[in-house]
Amino acid sequence: MPILISALDKSSPIQLCEQLLEKITLMISQGILKPGTRLPSCRKLAAQMAISNNTVVSAYQNLIARGMVESRPRRGYFVHHQLLRTELASEFFPANEQQKITRLFELLKPVIHPSLSQTIQRPENWAEYPFPFVCNQMDMARFPLTDWRTCCYKVLDSHHATQISCDYRYSDCKELVEQIRTRILPQRGVIANENEILITSGATQALYLISNLFGSQKNKIAVEDPCYPDARNIFDQFFGGITPIGLDNEGMLIDEQLSSCQLAYITPNHQFPTSIRMSVSRRRQLLDYAKLHKLVIIEDDYDGETDFDTKIEPALRSQQGGDQVIYIGSLSKSHSPGLRVGYMVASPDFINEARALRGMMIRHLPPLIQVATAQFIRQGYHDALLSKLRRIYKRRSKVASRALSQYFSDMQRSHGSGGTNFMITAPAHIDLTELGKYALDLGVVIENINPCFNQSSHGKNKFRLGVSAISTKKIVPGIKRLREAYEKLYHESIQV
């Protein structure tokens, strides 16, 4: 592998040999040059750096003396194969020289601090835990790897070469749009033309595009309280205000708080995170209000595809007055969250601007992913997968519901029909904030939902549990272990 080393400062009082020595040492200490890596020959490096051959030889000899480089007869110089990179920084660089890094925020202060936003946390390796009760994630043991591999092989042949290697500019794969239009959306009652559909990198990008186009200090957006925290974090960067609106057992309340808002973000199929399904009458009330007050509704149908309730309500976008609804869907809950295939449905004028804005960000999703996903849907693999997942999720949901009734009978449980998530609420005096960390040590992954609430303290006695990513046989022992963790951690509170 060619190695390009930045130029030496020939006006510096520090000798060129020492400068070269420091640069190579830094590259080794940072893992850029790994043990066993072959270094450029003295002649080649000297020509590259416009320095003498002797300077390079001297630097290499110093590195050999330090045990960082080894010389192999008739082969050249190599980073020492037994070198421990973790020891290098402290050994070869004094503490006051290890931090010679210009920090950009010392030069120019950032306008926003997204890293400070609160969101639901889970271990990156959650799937490796014995009892992963994470929400809205797929059990990878159920991922149809053989079918997906078949689709990928087919689009990698010469017939599809142009499709997967060319730049679509700001367009999408026409076949994928057609499959979503004719196979995916009708399952939610949504009828759309091609110019009303935009492929996005997951639902999150759709929310970001909407916020970019409508966000201003004059516009306010209403959100459910509690709500999906990632959405609220995005809205907070763009809108002049966010109005949290409470819930009852029929969904988000339609009251005077909406009068100051130009948009409303809702999750009507299964409210995030309570899983409440918005009632038919409340849906009609919301659409009528939107029509009367020119309110734009953002409908996040994040798990509509995997809903196993045969009486599932069609999307708001499909109903009378739904032309004021921006519909967001994705294949993350069914196909795979890692592929980041989402879509947005709205009026052509909005989609046209959203497409141009997306083009400034990523142009389009990778063609290989788009074409393969279109094949996956067209050949019936996606429908077969949904059928399987719905059966599995229905069984898991029943098992979890019974287990929670047995082991957490002293707590309230919120669970929407046809969904895989449960919100558990303990008595108000019990703070469950530490339960997630304690349960993690016992191999149980649950989700703390404090970030979902406008006032995080309102979520202190709650947690969320999902069964989409855990095998059925592990649900009961996992919930039992969670109860044991709860009783050990909150023994005194339980007695109150």
The proportion of the chain whose per-residue pLDDT surpasses 90, expressed as a percent, equals 70
pLDDT digits (tens, 9 = 90+) for 440-469: 999 999 999 999 999 999 999 999 999 999
Contact 444, 462 (CB under 8 A): no
* 364 and 433 both lie in a single domain: no
Q: Is 3 inside any structural domain?
A: no
For residues 399 and 108, what is the distance between their CA atoms, to the nearest angstrom? 55
| Residue 207 contacts residue 237 (beta carbons within 8 Å) | no
Distance CA 445, CA 447 (A): 7
Give the CB-side neighbour count of residue 101, counting CA atoms within 13 A. 7
Specify the pLDDT at position 327.
98
Q: Are 298 and 326 in contact (CB under 8 A)?
A: yes
What is the Cα–Cα distance from 305 to 331, expressed in whole angstroms? 8
pLDDT beyond 90 at 182: yes
Whether residue 194 is found in the same domain as residue 216: yes
Q: Which domain holds residue 177?
A: 143-380
The beta-strand segments (E) located in 73-129 are 76-79
**Residue at a domain's end among 380, 413, 446:** 380
What's the rounded Cα separation, in Å, for the pair 496 and 490? 10
Token look-up 């057992």 returns 249
pLDDT bin (cut points 50, 70, 90) of residue 91 is low
Supply the CATH number for residue 235's domain: 3.40.640.10
The pTM for the full model equals 0.85
**119 occurs within a structural domain:** no
Q: What are phi and psi of 252, to 5 degrees?
A: -65, 135
**What sign results for the dihedral spanned by CA atoms 362, 304, 251, 469?**
negative
Judge if 372 and 299 occupy the same domain.
Answer: yes
Which residues are registered as beta bridge partners of 245?
Answer: 224
Domain end point (choices 335, 353, 380): 380
Q: What is d(CA 43, CA 139) in angstroms, rounded to the nearest whole number? A: 55
> What is the percent of the chain where pLDDT is above 70?
94
> Residue 6 has what pLDDT?
83
- Does residue 219 sit in the same domain as residue 334? yes
Q: How many domains does the chain have?
A: 3
Whether 275 maps to a domain, the answer reads yes
Average the pLDDT over each of 163-172, 206-215, 219-228, 426-435 and give the range with the smallest value.
163-172
Cross-strand bridge partners of residue 72: 76
358 part of a folded domain: yes
- Asked if residue 302 and residue 161 are part of one domain, the reply reads yes
Q: Are 237 and 212 spatial neighbours (Cβ–Cβ below 8 Å)?
A: no
CATH number, domain of 61, equals 1.10.10.10
C-alpha to C-alpha distance for 171 and 355, rounded to whole angstroms:
8
Adjacent-strand bridge partners of 252: 247
* Residue appearing with tokens 């040590």: 441
Other beta carbons within 10 angstroms of residue 210's beta carbon come to 26
Does 484 reside within a domain?
yes
Please report whether residue 107 resides in a domain: no
Per-residue pLDDT at 495 exceeds 60: no
Per-residue model confidence as pLDDT tens digits over 463-488: 999 999 999 999 999 999 999 999 98
Q: Which amino acid is at 337?
A: P
Nearest 5°: the CA angle 295, 296, 300 is 135
pLDDT at 4 over 80: no
Single residue among 315, 346, 380 that ends a domain in this structure? 380
- Region for 469 from its dihedrals, namely left if φ exceeds 0, alpha if ψ lies in -120 to 50, beta otherwise: alpha
Does residue 111 sit within a domain? no
Q: What is the CATH number of the domain that holds 418?
A: 3.90.1150.10
User: Do 311 and 170 have their domain in common?
Assistant: yes
Say whether both 307 and 404 belong to one domain.
Answer: no
pLDDT tens digits along 118-163: 899 899 999 999 999 999 998 888 888 899 999 888 888 767 667 7
Same domain, 131 and 151: no
| R_g of the chain computed on alpha carbons | 28
Q: How confident is the model at residue 345 (pLDDT cuts 50, 70, 90)?
A: very high
Q: Mark whether 219 and 357 lie in a shared domain.
A: yes
Q: Is 244 part of a structural domain of the chain?
A: yes
Least confident range from 97-101, 165-169, 198-202, 409-413: namely 97-101
Q: Are residues 130 and 60 in the same domain?
A: no
Residues 334 and 296 in one domain: yes
Computed over every residue of the chain, the mean pLDDT equals 90
For residue 275, the tally of other CB atoms under 10 A from its CB is 24
Residues 166 and 89 in one domain: no
Confidence of residue 328 (pLDDT cuts 50, 70, 90): very high
Q: Which residues have a Cβ under 8 Å from the Cβ of 290 and sit 6 or more positions away? A: 264, 296, 297, 321, 324, 325
Tens digit of each residue's pLDDT (9 = 90 or more) over 364-408: 888 889 999 999 999 999 999 999 999 999 999 999 999 999 999
